[in-house]
Structure 1
Amino acid sequence: MTSLGTTLVLGGARSGKSAFAERLIGEMSLTKVYLATATAGDDEMQARIAQHRKQRGEGWITVEEPLALVDTLTRESTIGRVVLVDCLTLWLSNLMMAERDPEVEAKRLVRFLDVSRYPIVFVSNEVGLGLVPETPIGRAFRDAQGRLNQTIAAAVNNVAFVAAGLPLWLKRFQEN
């Protein structure tokens, strides 16, 4: 395992969290895999996905998977590779829309992380800093996202919070 290990990068919308995660991986001399959980359901989302690809540039293998995160990580996270999962927030949304239990899926992910030996960087939104959502589904999503972030933060080596493009390390593994 590299010194990066597993990392969770949190932040709000347009905080710079994805760019920071890409920079973390860009410093590594491994094959870079971008595991995208977004689906291009409309023109605006298609444009966002295209912008992300352009921003990343060459040198990335892109794998799109909105639901089967653990299965895809099992396949893609191998020796000589680093995987960027962008993002857990869209994965959670996809799970909820597919009427899958997010807590069951989070436990599967943690079990995978317990045995994984390869570097993975997860990106996730911190949605609990804003207003309380008006709708029951919005509140359920906010609560589920908070639980997911806490679960993954406990399971990974490193956690960074990004605001205004600046990272603040909340948890950082130090090799002796």
Structure 2
Amino acid sequence: MAVILITGGARSGKSMRAEMRTRAFPGQPVYVATAEPLDSEMETRIARHRARRGADWIEREVPLDLVDALVASDGGGARLVDCLTLWLSNLMHAARDWERDVTELASALPRLKSPVVLVTNEVGLGIVPDNALARSFRDAAGIMNQTIAAAADEVEFVVAGLPMKLK
């Protein structure tokens, strides 16, 4: 079993890298989507991702209960979670205890049988946001990424479509 975390900035190529890594494992890949199509722009993004991946993926839409979805799909093909940053946003918007959920995910990952490739955004590389909500999200994302990176077997940082192995 492998847990692979792929991080990077927006449009860095991390999703394509994660798809490639997931397909390298045997079995039918499972795409665990955390995004919700709340507006037409997000619907377009989701459609582009689906078209690029093709029809050979099993797809699960999981905006909140990520650990349950990973446990339920365990024992088959590799799972690709895209992405943890949207999952975190969903948790915070739903007023869930995101720290508990992130800790639960980190604890569950080593117990899973099938590989998991997780995508996340590195949001703390820019300027300090000008409002409390954005700073809170940036800080939460940094904590989440550190927690999941510690639980991962491998961590890659993708810049301009090029992966750099961190762990």
Is this a same-fold pair by TM over 0.5? yes
Partner of 1:31: helix, strand, or coil? coil
Question: How much does 1:169 deviate?
Answer: 0.3
Matched, 1:120 2:116: yes
Larger deviation, residues 24-33 vs 8-17: 24-33
1:90-113 C-alpha deviation (Å, 9 max, x unpaired): 000000000011110011111211
* Deviation, structure 1 residue 77: 2.1
Q: Residues 106-145 of structure 1: CA distance to partner in whole angstroms, max 9, x if unpaired?
A: 1111121131122000000000101111110000000000
Cα offset, 1:25, TM superposition: 1.5
TM-score by length of 1: 0.93
Instruction: Please name the residue that 1:174 is paired with.
Output: none
2:83 corresponds to which of 73, 87, 112 = 87
The answer to whether structure 1 residue 57 and structure 2 residue 63 are counterparts is no
Which runs of structure 2 are paired with 1:67-78 in the superposition (5 Å)?
Answer: 67-78=64-75
In terms of mean alpha carbon deviation, does 135-144 or 113-122 score higher? 113-122
Where does residue 42 of structure 2 map in the other structure?
45
**Distance between the aligned counterparts of 1:44 and 1:161, measured in 2?**
26
Amino acid at match of 2:93: M
Secondary structure class of the residue paired with 1:14: coil
CA RMSD across the alignment: 0.8
**Could you report, residue by residue, the CA deviation over 1:35-94 in whole angstroms, capped at 9, with x for unpaired residues?**
00000000110010000000111210110010000011110122x310000000000000
Asked if the contact 2:106–2:148 (Cα under 8 Å) also holds between the matched residues in 1, the reply is yes
Match of 2:162 in 1: 166
Give distance in 2, aligned partners of 1:77 and 1:123: 18
What TM-score results when the alignment is normalised by the length of structure 2?
A: 0.97
Q: Contact between 2:18 and 2:119, CA under 8 Å: does it hold in 1?
A: yes
Matched with 1:101 is 97
Structure 1 gap segments, 5+ residues each? 172-176
Q: Which residue of 2 is the match for residue 10 of structure 1?
A: 7
1:29 aligned residue: 26
Amino acid corresponding to residue 126 of structure 1 in structure 2: E
Verify the 8 A CA contact 2:7 2:158 in the aligned structure 1: yes
Partner of 2:144: 148
1:29, distance to aligned residue in structure 2 (A): 2.4
Give the letter for the 2:3 counterpart: T
3-state SS in 1 of match to 2:64:
coil
Percent sequence identity over aligned pairs: 53
